[in-house]
Structure 1
Amino acid sequence: MNSYDPPLGGRPILGNSCARATTAVEMRYRIDRPIRGRQGARVIALDQGAAAIVARIAEYAWGSARFYELAEPATEVGDAGLQSVSLRPVSVSRNGHHPTLVDELDDADVVVMIATTGSDDAAATIIGAACTVRAITTAGLVIGEQAAVADTVAAIRPHARVLAISSDEQDVVDVLTALRA
């Protein structure tokens, strides 16, 4: 006879059966409903290559994420620079209205900056600073070969709390999915 008696009526507890091994007291703390998505994800393309990527990705089914490209290059960094970032919606037309960055940050909880080569460094600086002041999480995704995007990475790095470099635009979809955008 074996001196070890497995619990649960002779069946060993496997790593994947921990849900069945939970006590009734521990069950009170379980969340039984799906976690809702974010309410204020903003995805902003910082250059023309990124705008093409964002336009393709905006076609997917997302929660309440909004997708933008820069309406024009940002030229001024500083106190007045915040007003100089004008956004153009990628997925939905707003009758020619280009919301400012201030408009879009009012109800944002995460801002994801997408860039390839030739990104707008001033816009990245302004967006990053505006998000920092408002305690909005920022992420930067640079798409392209490492050697080609080195300058873009250097420009975005100080302004994104999380920065990822990839040669596959599918990674943008994966990150947005993980963020529940």
Structure 2
Amino acid sequence: MTSWTLRSDSAKATAASEGRFRISYPRAPARAVRVIALDSGAEAIVRRVSLLPWNSASFYLAETSWNKTGLEGGPAEVVLHRIDGSAASLNEELTGVDSVVMVATTEAGTEAAATIGAACAVRGIITAGLVFGEDNPQTVSALRPYARVLVVSRDESDLETVLTAMRA
């Protein structure tokens, strides 16, 4: 009897005769993902997840300032801060990015979400939003217009799960 050695555990679970039907090309490369905390509650979550090993994910905290014209309802200026505290330009950080994940626990980051969402839309970058916490309809409503995909969760580990699924 011939013994077959297949490459993965899932492959070992199938019959050796089915091995010829397996896809033999490599997995797609890691995605360039930017994860942005929109408020202080989200900052704690993003900081924790940033400590895990990632292929090409970068983590930021968003700070919103008044718009230059001072007009109410005008676009907000967003300054990003890396986890180490250094400042980063939103425009520069979006260069070559596949997707942006915005993380919120309150509606406090609405202006930042609007600016980030608009910048991503112009560049064709997919946006996702994760809202954490108990019963946050205001936060969901605030983030919904700016995220193509929106996840509402009570489990903070869902950010890690989403990033893993994105091959970040």
TM-score (norm 2): 0.81
Which residue of structure 1 aligns with residue 118 of structure 2? 129
Q: Is the 8 A contact 1:74 1:120 kept in 2?
A: no
Q: Is the 8 A contact 1:75 1:122 kept in 2?
A: no
**How do residues 1-181 of structure 1 correspond to structure 2 at under 5 angstroms?**
17=14, 20-21=17-18, 30-38=23-31, 40-70=32-62, 72-76=63-67, 78=74, 81=76, 84-90=77-83, 92=84, 96=86, 98-146=87-135, 149-181=136-168
Identity within the alignment, %: 46
- Higher strand fraction: Structure 1 or Structure 2? 2
Q: Whole-Å Cα distance in 2 between the matches of residues 33 and 19 of structure 1?
A: 20
Structure 2: give runs of 5+ residues left out of the alignment. Answer: 1-12, 68-72
Q: Whole-Å Cα distance in 2 between the matches of residues 152 and 178 of structure 1?
A: 24
Q: Whole-Å Cα distance in 1 between the matches of residues 98 and 15 of structure 2?
A: 34
Shift of residue 36, structure 1, vs aligned partner: 2.5
The amino acid across from 1:67 in the alignment is: F
Q: Is the 8 A contact 1:50 1:116 kept in 2?
A: yes
What do the CA deviations read for 1:114-154 (whole angstroms, capped 9, x no partner)?
000243111101111111111101000000012xx211100
User: SS of the counterpart of 2:51?
Assistant: coil
TM-score (norm 1): 0.75
How many residues align? The count is: 151
Q: Is the 8 A contact 1:140 1:164 kept in 2?
A: yes
Q: Whole-Å Cα distance in 1 between the matches of residues 30 and 104 of structure 2?
A: 24
Q: Whole-Å Cα distance in 2 between the matches of residues 125 and 63 of structure 1?
A: 27
The amino acid across from 1:142 in the alignment is: V
Structure 1: give runs of 5+ residues left out of the alignment. Answer: 1-15
Structure number with bigger Rg: 1
Q: Is the 8 A contact 2:107 2:142 kept in 1?
A: no
The amino acid across from 1:52 in the alignment is: A
Q: Is the 8 A contact 2:98 2:126 kept in 1?
A: yes
Q: What's the RMSD between the two structures over aligned residues? A: 2.1
What do the CA deviations read for 1:27-69 (whole angstroms, capped 9, x no partner)?
6xx234343211x210000000000110000000001110000
User: SS of the counterpart of 1:50?
Assistant: helix
